[in-house]
Structure 1
Amino acid sequence: MLVFRIVHKRYADSLFASGLEGRWNSEGKKVLYTAESISLAYLETLAHRKGLGFNKDFKIMIIKIPDTVDFQIVTSSELTKHWRDFRNYSACQKIGDIWFENGEELGLKVPSAVVPENYNVVINTFHPDFKKVKLIDVLDFEPDERLEQIIKQYQS
């Protein structure tokens, strides 16, 4: 399985996990957030950056996860009604933290809050199979400036 990340170039040469809190992990849980497509990775990054600051310093990471590793899959129907609201991270973090602590599966496949019909893959960097995850390519990222301009119009 190929997954994708869009990151600043200083982080694009390794599978680095900061341990910062995210929707599916609490502080200190070192996971990598990836998307099942480049376009979803872009939308996720756009949402988190509020559409600002893209430039030629960003890269697309292409990551290979072996087909032999296990994933826990979470569907939208399993989640609370308002799981996508950024103020409701705790419900998703509880699921992600349990998955991380159990350590049974390398990946947690979760619906995207931006496009719930598509999936992100959260990767546990402490799982024994993490050594099988490979960064196979890094591409230049040059997004269409029109999307950033549209978002800037609606920000106060």
Structure 2
Amino acid sequence: MIVYRLANKDYINDKDGVGAKLFGGRWNAINTPCIYTSEHISLALLEKFIHAKVAENMQNIALLKIELPDDESLFHVDSKKLKQSWAYDFDYTQWLGEQLLEDQSILAFSVPSAIIPEERNIIINPLSKRFKESKFKEICDFTTDYRLLGKLINSKI
């Protein structure tokens, strides 16, 4: 399985989950490392934009492809079993994510995107016993139609 990560060029090659550890996220609390990725480049872009605090966060970004084994090391969180208000309950999603990140046999877990629930984000556990099976592929400058990035950069974030 190929997953995609968009990040500032200075941090794109973070294999330790430092950013998530420092700031926390929907599926991890502060002090718990993980790497947020998406099944699709377009979803990775939307996730990057929605979390941008300032327009500069949308500049100087790169795309990283990561190959993960497509087996039992990827845990699929069943959307139907999540509580109905999961997208608005960070305590709940962080609690669930923490349970999965503590299990070092799980390399990554698949969760619905709060932006587009029909699409999935993949959270990688850098502390997993199977992390070495992750293959960090090429990093390239991220480019898209200038009209889209122009709207994103010039919007009031």
Across the aligned residues of Structure 1 and Structure 2, the Cα RMSD in angstroms comes to: 2.1
Q: Quote the Cα distance in structure 2 between the aligned partners of 1:78 and 1:104.
A: 22
Amino acid at match of 1:80: K
What corresponds to 1:22 in structure 2?
A: 25
With normalisation by structure 1, the TM-score equals 0.86
What corresponds to 2:143 in structure 1?
A: 142
CA shift for structure 1 position 12: 2.3
The secondary structure found in structure 1 opposite 2:80 is helix
Q: Quote the Cα distance in structure 1 between the aligned partners of 2:34 and 2:154.
A: 30
Residue 98 to residue 52, structure 1, CA distance change in 2 (3 Å): same
Name the count of aligned residue pairs: 152
With normalisation by structure 2, the TM-score equals 0.86
1:24-45, Cα deviation, whole Å (9 max, x unpaired): 0111111000000111101111
Within 5 Å, which residues of 2 pair with 1:94-133?
Answer: 94-133=95-134
1:122-150, Cα deviation, whole Å (9 max, x unpaired): 01100011011111111111233434526
CA shift for structure 1 position 105: 1.2
What corresponds to 1:6 in structure 2?
A: 6
Q: Quote the Cα distance in structure 2 between the aligned partners of 1:106 and 1:22.
A: 18
What corresponds to 1:37 in structure 2?
A: 40
Which residue, 72, 76, 85 being the options, matches 2:75? 72
Contact 2:39 2:120 in 1 (8 A): yes
CA shift for structure 1 position 103: 2.3
1:38-96, Cα deviation, whole Å (9 max, x unpaired): 111011111111672222x11000111123451221132212222222xx211101111
Contact 1:65 1:134 in 2 (8 A): yes
Amino acid at match of 1:13: N
Stretches of structure 2 that go unaligned for 5 or more consecutive residues are none
Contact 2:105 2:130 in 1 (8 A): no
Contact 1:100 1:124 in 2 (8 A): yes
Contact 1:69 1:129 in 2 (8 A): no
Per mean C-alpha deviation after superposition, the further-off stretch among 139-148 and 96-105 is 139-148
Contact 2:67 2:136 in 1 (8 A): yes
Stretches of structure 1 that go unaligned for 5 or more consecutive residues are none
Contact 1:72 1:109 in 2 (8 A): yes
